[in-house]
Amino acid sequence: MNRRTLAKVASLGFALILGLIAMKQGQAQDAKTPYSSMAPLDQYLMADRNAEIVLARSAAPDAISADAKVLVLGRHGYETAVEGKNGFVCVVERGWMSPSNAPEFWNPKLRGPVCFNPPAARSVLPATYKRTELALAGKTKAEIIEGNKAAFEKGELPPLEPGSMSYMMSKEAYLTDRGDHNVAHLMFYAPPLDGKAWGADLTNSPVMLNPQFNGVQPIDVFIVPVGRWSDGSAAPVM
């Protein structure tokens, strides 16, 4: 998998990398975009609750996800399906966790299994709750992004904790309609910093900067592809 293909499938957030795709390819959502507004809620929900639990856990190796708290999406937001023991939280994020300019923000097919480590569960995951609350309330994309920003500025969302990271290593993730649908990767959350300090997006560097929270919260998201899925099998890499 070359870097161009990789950039097309790595996510956010949901952590989804779709905003990076949009920026690098000069794409923007407009009237011709098939996902210009939210689809009926049923298209975002998974009918089989147990299947969503399995999918959420597949974000990280069993040694991590087996004892993690697991969330599933219901009609009124995320619900705790399994109580955890190790502080990790696994969840399947939907497209509204993408950056504001992501063309697939409302794509109902997107499924982004992610397992947040304890610091990220406390300080990054709350943004998922907020955006989901706004999406299910029927807000527009612009209102969701502004609502996320306002909630942080009002102190309703916590500041980023040091050491925050997450796993997105699910073989079953669906992160974009374009090309390959998936890539196994880790995400690291940091205060805003010039990406070059991480070597992000430089020639032959495996680190990519995802603009998921640009202009919304003071969080940089760095993506590092890995060479295996959560079940230990080989995954495509650059």
Hey, what are 92's tokens?
Answer: 């399947």
The token pair at 21 is 């795709």
Taking only Cα atoms into account, the Rg of the chain, rounded to an integer number of angstroms, comes to 16
Which pLDDT belongs to residue 211? 85
Q: Which two tokens stand for residue 103?
A: 């063309």
To 10 degrees, what angle do helices 125-136 and 141-153 make?
Answer: 140
Write phi, then psi, for 213 (nearest 5 degrees). -105, 10
pLDDT at 25 over 90: no
Sign of torsion over alpha carbons 35, 12, 158, 84:
positive
pLDDT, tens digit (0-9, with 9 covering 90-100), for 166-177 = 999 999 999 999
pTM of the model: 0.86
Kindly give, in sequence order, each residue whose CB lies less than 8 Å from that of residue 2, ignoring residues fewer than 6 positions away. 238
The predicted structure's pLDDT at residue 238: 58
- CA-based torsion, 34, 110, 20, 151: positive or negative: positive
**Pairing of the two strands 15-15 and 12-13:** antiparallel
pLDDT in tens, 44-65: 999 999 999 999 999 999 999 9
As given in the structure block, the two tokens for residue 62 are 């069993």
pLDDT digits (tens, 9 = 90+) for 115-139: 999 999 999 999 999 999 999 999 9
On whether the CB atoms of residues 86 and 53 are closer than 8 A, the answer is no
pLDDT at 34: 84
